Structure 1
């Protein structure tokens, strides 16, 4: 085993797709999918029991070089100095036979905190670990950044987008990297990796009409109208790929959660549009829809979507089944 390989990985930021890819890159080094799954433990940080974390990190790998422990969003359970000290001690004592991936679904510090020169307590801890800990932030690509992100992803896949095509696809997918990644692969296959993707290819191949129906389905969920929500879901599934649809639903609830937080903080429509970098018309629709949900409800739904995302990626469930289950659970 390489002595320089980190033991603790702290991935944070609002780009859920990139966070998932970061964890998957560790899994990819663990051998075949079956072996990797046998050696992976997932813990939900919102109800974190530190003794469970100790047991998970101390377990030995089976027919593999390392085990992987994925701990999601633990910060809410680490509010006292005593809990933080115990958590840091667990990380320090995690053996090299375990990779501990701490996945945090928001930046450790907001932009104001960064500008003021603050450092998060996890970053301070990692800085003193002499290579044992690795910290990286994954921020959602927005506006022009999304076009650059699309071109880079295409290049990594062995293809190319011209700038106008990347900008157009960025408008279609918004700030949803998962959806963008699906469309990139589709478009590169369409041009057979033989030429750059052009705006006409994007116009021809990328469907955007599903957004309206997704909004209607979320409206039905907010009204607890299970029959209507399922009807709209089945219509969407008949017209679109389940994974693409799941990405659209996740994006909608992420926007609703962000909108709810901004409204509760006293922000007005124009301020919300500026902060989220979306059109004011979309903000108007979000502000109308978000009245159907409390902040705790939106947080619960969004975390459930992250759990479903993990289950889909690890083959534990199919996208269409997961969506139907989610709709049923939210409208009981």
Structure 2
């Protein structure tokens, strides 16, 4: 019997999402090896947009360049929620091959564990569960996959890193994809995916390639993870933990467990997060960029002070600020061109939940203000590398003790008198005040 093609599922999920090309019709496990040849694969199509929603700009214009860059990053096929994939697996609706890729090890671990539990009971794993370590070959994977299960219905092959396989070793596996063994489930992790390689292109067309992505909204996932671990998180603690750790799902899950041990039976508070989660460069930089986006001068200056106390390079801070300003500028461009929101993350190089934050922050700064901020950042970069007098003079000096000239600018000799560390701090505080002053 040939199953009907799977319908496209929604993107939202408490666990994450799976970027997966549209699958062709698949065989159930009841099919015998003598089943008729598989019908031609249905080509997955690139997501398209109507002219009214996303008109093609005039060639040679800035909008055309953005249009072209966007189309180069558009995903193919549909998105499925990770928890929907897990539901199918636990219900026994298994595919013969799963090739998984993710930047989040926790998602890989949970999907692999679910497949293993559904395919091979613990008592049968001695004979029916094989792990391919090191550099795999297509011939070895196929030989294991063609082996019949012993005293069990199915067996599982786990390939730790399929991307380590040489291209010329993939031919046996490509042939196997045309007629996989219905009594074997092959699960492989690919550290890297290049769909220009024939193997990955074929896996994508057949619907065997799954890219596990972080959920668009981290807070619901974090609350669900805490509930699963039996930890109560106050709403403020959820927000604080995301600010401190970011979108690293594995670290978030680990930190939730640590907070649960620290707090015991009582709910975890934001103070607990501050006490347990150490300040890191990434955390403080995010606090700085978020404060600038929120036009919060006091919080931004506090973050600058923390970075200086951590002996962070002032030039490095300027580089991170320039990246954030560039992202807000690109948000304006994407919004003006009518680009689909689903593609913004790949264009900006950030997770989906950060896109929403950038959009809210960009509303505080006009494109003209961001262009001015970019010039001020360039001036600060040159100043920190030698010529302090290039710093903008629009902002009020941050402290009465700061040596300034009559027009409010810093001078080289006075900066040297302050000492390099204090001079860099003064420059950064002056720059932050200046940028926030550009907000609408």
Larger radius of gyration: 2
TM-score, normalization by structure 1? 0.48
Q: Under a length normalisation based on structure 2, what TM-score does the superposition of the two structures give?
A: 0.38
Name whichever structure is richer in helix by fraction.
1
